[in-house]
A and B are shown apart, each in its own frame.
Chain A
Amino acid sequence: MEGLTSWKHTLNKFFFQPFIYLFVFGYIMGRGLPGGIFGGNYSQVVAPGILSMLVMNVALGTTGSFLISGYYFKSMEAWLLTPITLRAFMLSRVASGIVNTTIAGLGGIIIIRLMLGLFPENFWLALVFILMGGLIFSCLSLIAFTLPKTPDRAQEVLSFILMPMMFFGCTFYTYSTLPWPWNMLALLFPTTYLSEAMRAAYNPALPHMDTGLIFVGLSLGLLVIAYFADRTFHRRFKDFLW
């Protein structure tokens, strides 16, 4: 709600950032570069990757900015005084992250269509993966912002996970191009499964990870991340020291 009430913030989060990424990597570089071993051009590879990066950024940002604002404006204290359980409160934040991510994801699909002429061959599969991505990265955001003593120190956690997820997580290349042991490392990052999932939804003819494996990877990731999100969230707010 807070995020959506500021149109500048909304415009920036949902449209401006993905527009810039897609323009540089998809439109300028993507159309000029060949697609490597799988033919076509690079924009077909990178556009689904940028969409997954958008999902990650919006989910992390939405949930994180809520906690940051609760910290700086002390509104977290008021939210914790409402008669809802901590778990319900946590789930409401995750739900908010998913809603924002879905809007941003759909916006990203429209921008890719307008800029690069690409549209998911299986739209519903893309939507399912956007929802799953929103869920996973919202939970990951809860961990990043509640693991340190105060959320203003979340950057210390995020710097360890964001860059590797963006650059080792197959957003700018396909998983099949990775040699050993980098392909093993990439399996640790949810962005790998999400980027490959988007490639599967956009153009199943392109090389991509098996859809079954993608679902297994995302589901396992979700289980682990949701478990730790629940733990850190409860630990932080059961004894509220902000």
Chain B
Amino acid sequence: MRPAVEVINVTKIYPNGVKAIDGVSFSVGQGEVFGILGANGAGKTSLIKVITTLLKPTSGSVKLLGLDVQKNPAEGKNMLGVVSQDINLDTYLTVKQNLCFQCRYFGISGRDSEKRIAEWMELLGISDVAEAMIYTLSGGTKRKVMVARAFITDPKVLILDEPTNGLDPLVREVVWEQIIKFRQSGKTVLLSTHHFEEARKLCDRMGVIHRGKMIACDHDLTDIENIFKSMVAS
């Protein structure tokens, strides 16, 4: 079975000369949860942005279920659900409109989208703010909307960049539960986090990224934990 995500020798050098990713390679099988661990500024978000086609790699390539995403970005993005690190909702639209627009972009019919929106709002406890403008919501509620937006299109690959930042413990549990359910349905998750506990709870495999390089991948759990903690400490 071909991997869900293949990152092949990806390097990203920004126009200011900063090498954010340095020859990173790894693959994630279908139905796996792969965790990318790293301290702040390690290159996790740059790597996620390359995988999701937002950034053009300086060299190397990324494949999603065999499809080169740089060559076919629209088809690649059609397979993805993404929770970005920053809140990036449409501020002047309501919660429901944000989710509705997302469904439309992914070609989900009106009736189906209504059903999905109701389900996800209920699940994440945001039904009461369905008609509220995004700019009136708290940071935690906005993040819940972002989580709902990523799941609602039922993507083949879910890419989560620090998805539980700013969430209260109860909702964090709900999100974790959904990630596990998602994985059980045979789909793939790429999770970037700097919380080892979160990675340990959710991930089948893990890699540690430091100064743009993947310095450990598929080591045993204790090794990964030690490497990660020493990187954070440094």
Contacts and interface: CB of A to CB of B under 8 A. Distances in A.
Interface of A: 1-2, 5-6, 69, 73-78, 80-86, 238-241
B14 A83 contact: no
A84 B56 CA distance: 17
Given A82-B77, A83-B74, A85-B74, A77 B92 contact: no
Contacts of B15: 241
Interface stretch (B2-10, B83-91, B122-130, B202-210): B83-91
B54 A78 contact: no
B14 to A, nearest CB: 7
A240 B54 contact: yes
A239 B56 contact: yes
B54 A1 contact: no
B54 A69 contact: no
A115 B53 CA distance: 52
B105 A82 contact: yes
Contacts of B74: 83-85
Interface in B177-229: none
Contact of B54 (A5, A75, A80): A80
A81 B86 contact: no
Contacts of B82: 81
Interface of B: 14-15, 49, 52-56, 73-75, 77-78, 80, 82, 84, 86-93, 102, 105-106, 149
Contact of A78 (B14, B55, B88): B88
Given A6-B92, A74-B84, 6 more contacts: A5-B93, A76-B88, A78-B88, A81-B52, A84-B105, A241-B55
Nearest to A73: B91
B17 to A, nearest CB: 13
A190 to B, nearest CB: 30
Nearest to B91: A73
Contact of B84 (A77, A85, A238, A239): A77
Contacts of B92: 2, 5-6, 69
Contact of B91 (A75, A80, A81): A75
Nearest to A3: B92
12 contacts: A73-B91, A74-B88, A77-B54, A77-B84, A78-B84, A78-B89, A81-B52, A81-B82, A84-B74, A238-B56, A240-B54, A241-B14
A69 B56 CA distance: 23
Contact of A83 (B55, B56, B78, B88): B78
Contacts of B90: 2, 73, 75, 78
Nearest to B70: A238
Contacts of A80: 53-54
Contacts of A238: 56
